[in-house]
Structure 1
Amino acid sequence: MKNKKGLIAIIIILIISCSIINSSHKEKQFNNYMSQVDKLISEKKYDEAKKQLDSAKNIKDNDEVKEKQKIIKFNQDQFKIYTEGLDLIKKEDFDSALKKLSEIDEKAEDIKENADEKIVICKQKLIPIKINEAKKFLDSKEFDKAYSKINEAVSIDDKNKQVLDFKNSINTKKTAYEEEQKQIAIAKKEEEDRIKKEKAREDEIAKQEQVKEEQETQQVLSNNISDETHVYWTPKGKSYHSSPGCPTLSRSKTIYEGSIQESGKFDPCDRCM
């Protein structure tokens, strides 16, 4: 009976020992997997890291595993943005590359560090491009577009001396151009006023000449009419007429006739004389 109890005790001890050994072995395996996960993450081998993490998860699915899953997913997303940025650089689309690389979160330290290096390259490429674009607009006097391009360069590097000097150049040339246009407008207005005055003077001269011509014509007519010429007139009218059928006499009830001297009028009718 004592031997049976001793045997049972030994078996229990062996079972417990095996369990402890097995547990210790699994813990060691788990830790090894997790170490590999950290190493692979640092090497940006995220798919391999996920496989190692799945192996660790099969041993023990705890908060540490869940946290590593989040880290891998976060870094995968950030690395994807980084590779998209690199592809844009290869295509020489530096504007888009700069925007894309700037999206990377600072928490992804290694990726962010690499991205910052590429951002510097993008800026170095973009500055002369923006200045050349601004120069083309400046040469064609499209100042607003020139400002737009140079302000893009300022947003890229607001300490760049070449950019700031060129922006000052735009300011100077725009001011000079506006002053030139102002003087042109003044000269144009002065010329328009001169032409108006000249035309008014010519119209006045023409008017005076017309009046003079009419007066001379009237004088000629008057000279050709003697005081004894037979004419017609009305009591209140100021003119004498050559015919009682003159349209201006059509409404008159009383019409006299006789010589000019008898009429007492000195103004021949403009219609009939």
Structure 2
Amino acid sequence: MKDSGIDTSVAHPARRYDYLLGGKDNFQADRQSAHEIEKRHPTARLSAQENRFFMHRAVRFMAREGIRQFLDIGTGIPTSPNTHEIAQETDPAARIVYVDNDPLVLVHARALLTGTEQGRTTYIQADLRRPDAILADDDLRATLDLTRPVGLLLIAVLHFIRDDDDPRAILDTLISALPSGSIVAASHATPEHMPAEQVAALRAVMERQWRDRTGTELAALFDRPDLRPVAPGVQSVSRWWAEQAPQPRPAVEEVASNGLVARVVRD
């Protein structure tokens, strides 16, 4: 069934992620897809939660570093705390643009992603595969000043960009638009902590939707002379700034997702 552009018969990553996080804004196709993943990756819910925790820590780090503008691509269905809630704890005047390609996200974003009176929060429906359209969007331009540092968030979204989508070109377009002083944070599903048979089983059910990448492959996507990785570099999201995360920390084998944070530095 389709309703206002929402196809409930086909699983969508944002709605599946919502289900894995314990949300209720999903449909049978999304739940079935999540169950198929869980059969092959029993800790998929933990992986989703750890990606969320990594996002929280990354936004707090950006805010401490003086970032007051955020571009969150692959937002997903709102799950509190969201990027704007965390950023506006530090500065109520922080500005955030959320981007997702699921029309259901737009429905919820209009109601829930409102932010403070001093700041500004905007949601645009767009696809990461068209970064030029994102950057040229009138609402983005009205919300963010791209001559000043921006925090770019790509949390649990890049593994949905297959090689034939040219992820490096997508990232180059986005990062080239950011001024020096900006900070980029990304997380990405990885096969490197799973047994080979588990990886093969996951790929069998997800091959048309995603492309897992090792930490080395993820680092290569961000290998640019104007990017400086923040320590500890590419690392399991469960190990990123672990002392700031909920304890005890899960094993990297349970999470199967890497993260990175990098600064944009230009002369």
Instruction: Give the alignment's TM-score, normalised by structure 1.
Output: 0.19
Q: Kindly indicate which of the two structures has a greater share of residues assigned to helix.
A: 1
Q: Kindly indicate which of the two structures has a greater share of residues assigned to strand.
A: 2
Compare relative contact order (CA 8 Å, sep 6+) and give the higher one, 1 or 2: 2
Instruction: Give the alignment's TM-score, normalised by structure 2.
Output: 0.19
